[in-house]
Structure 1
Amino acid sequence: MSTLFVADIHLCAREPAITAGFLHFLRARAIAAQALYILGDLFKVWVGDDDPNPLHHEIAVALQALTQRGIPCYFIHGNRDFLLGKRYAAACGITLLIAPQVMFLNGLRIVILHGDALCTDDNDYQRFRRWMHQRCLQRLFLSLPLWLRLRIADRMRANSLRANSGKTTGIMDVNAQAVIAAMDDTDSTVMIHGHTHQPAIHQLPGKRCRAVLGAWCHHGSIVEVSTSGVILHEFRFNG
């Protein structure tokens, strides 16, 4: 059996085709997997487990159906849904993991993470990342009224889009030395991550490889680990 990895689905009510594609993936592909790992940014924005958005309930029901069939599902936070908490995880039946996470599959020692921590050339983003991961600030944000959290999230997203428009692709990509350091620290031979939206499998020195998941937009992106190795798949939502 195969273990599947996805990231950067960016679910939101304004993109029903992506939602339909992800739900189809859960029913048609993930159901036959040994396990499913979601490596962050499942949702386009997450302002708290108390948000009554119907889409959140729909996805929770679908993930719960998967885990109740005996397919374990694991989740690593991304830069958009780092506030997803234990309450929603319990509703989904998923297990929250702390990145970087090391696992063993088919004789491979694999490290998994969202990937934004590897983009060390983007100094502005790394400063923002350190700020938004402070527990005291997270608790303060979650204590605000839901309408205000949604408004702040919209403003932050608009600011991020403006800031990224002035950055080169190289700055927003992973740093090669950061990748090697992370693999050395975890003694891993395979790294799987998302975030950069540049799907590929990169061969690295020392018989290592780095598998990068693509963002779900007009098609889905999966990394499959099986006895055949590490394979990147892309598929149309209606396929």
Structure 2
Amino acid sequence: MILLISDLHLQEERPDITRAFLDLLATRARSAQALYILGDFFEAWIGDDAMTPYQASICQALRALSDTGTQVFLMHGNRDFLIGQAFCKAAGATLLPDPSVVELGGEPVLLMHGDSLCTRDEGYMKLRRYLRNPVSLWVLRHLPLHTRHKLARKLRSESRAQTRMKANDIVDVTPEEVPRVMQQHGVRTLVHGHTHRPAIHKLMVGDAPARRIVLGDWDRQGWALQVDEQGFQLAPFDFA
């Protein structure tokens, strides 16, 4: 059994989400071969060197799971793209590039955070290209901590304001981009998060039927995709 989750946006201000995640680690994830976290694991991450005691406790919880034999995989999201190898090593996790193709349920599956599929949001795509540039990443990681904190608050504030003002179709994936990317990677199943619109969409890639599975964000309830002998099962669960 394999579990995939995304968009927890972990932060001290949401202890209910934190408790639900730690409960998942202590229960279902212990029986899993692997746990995949597809981005926006944390609400914000300004660098491995700036890890707070709260974030360190999450790191330790992941390590405890990894030490039981469950493989842990992390992918960057738009909120936590500065997570680095130091955090992953401490957590016993493997950092996956976005996108990545892995074998799940006996087939190749494309895993993405999902923000790169939202190509109609031209302003965001331009910012994303700038922030993910290796030179920009190096500069960001070497800024003083207080500057990184200030920049992170500014980016989150602007993101919330702009999202409220944009049309729904602008902040969702571009329909034409999905089959193009799937065909490029030779897959019939895509799993991603980011949009906070959990669903399983049927589509055609070339002449073949395909599916796009969108993971849900954790807010009033949690979401997980379970892959086992029964297939791909996307379902919410209540917080304890």
TM-score normalised by the chain length of structure 1 = 0.97
1:13-52 matched pairs, under 5 angstroms: 13-52=12-51
* Shift, 1:105, TM fit: 2.1
1:210 matched to which residue of 2?
A: 212
C-alpha distance after superposition, 1:183-206 (max 9, x if no partner): 101110110000000000111122
C-alpha distance after superposition, 1:30-59 (max 9, x if no partner): 111111101000000000001131111111
2:89 matched to which residue of 1?
A: 90
Letter in 1 for 2:209: K
Alpha-carbon distance in structure 1 between the residues aligned to 2:106 and 2:17: 34
* Shift, 1:123, TM fit: 0.6
Letter in 1 for 2:212: R
Secondary structure of 1:127's aligned partner: helix
Larger displacement relative to structure 2 (157-166 or 123-132) = 157-166
* Shift, 1:207, TM fit: 2.4
C-alpha RMSD of matched pairs (Å): 0.9
Alpha-carbon distance in structure 1 between the residues aligned to 2:26 and 2:239: 12
Alpha-carbon distance in structure 1 between the residues aligned to 2:127 and 2:232: 33
Does the alignment pair 1:129 with 2:128?
Answer: yes
Secondary structure of 2:191's aligned partner: strand
1:163 matched to which residue of 2?
A: 162
2:105 matched to which residue of 1?
A: 106
Letter in 2 for 1:219: Q
Percent of pairs identical after alignment?
Answer: 40
1:191 matched to which residue of 2?
A: 190
2:225 matched to which residue of 1?
A: 223
Secondary structure of 1:225's aligned partner: strand
TM-score normalised by the chain length of structure 2 = 0.96
Alpha-carbon distance in structure 1 between the residues aligned to 2:139 and 2:33: 39
1:11 matched to which residue of 2?
A: 10
2:143 matched to which residue of 1?
A: 144
Q: Which runs of 5+ in 1 are unaligned?
A: none
Letter in 2 for 1:94: A
Secondary structure of 1:171's aligned partner: coil
Alpha-carbon distance in structure 1 between the residues aligned to 2:75 and 2:123: 23
* Shift, 1:140, TM fit: 1.2
Letter in 2 for 1:90: K
C-alpha distance after superposition, 1:17-76 (max 9, x if no partner): 111111111111111111110100000000000113111111111100111000001111
Alpha-carbon distance in structure 2 between the residues aligned to 1:121 and 1:110: 24
* Shift, 1:181, TM fit: 0.7
* Shift, 1:141, TM fit: 1.6
Q: Which runs of 5+ in 2 are unaligned?
A: none
Secondary structure of 1:12's aligned partner: coil
Alpha-carbon distance in structure 2 between the residues aligned to 1:52 and 1:101: 26
Letter in 2 for 1:20: R
Alpha-carbon distance in structure 1 between the residues aligned to 2:178 and 2:232: 18
C-alpha distance after superposition, 1:138-187 (max 9, x if no partner): 21121122122111110111111111111011110001111101110111
2:235 matched to which residue of 1?
A: 233
Letter in 2 for 1:178: E
Letter in 1 for 2:217: A
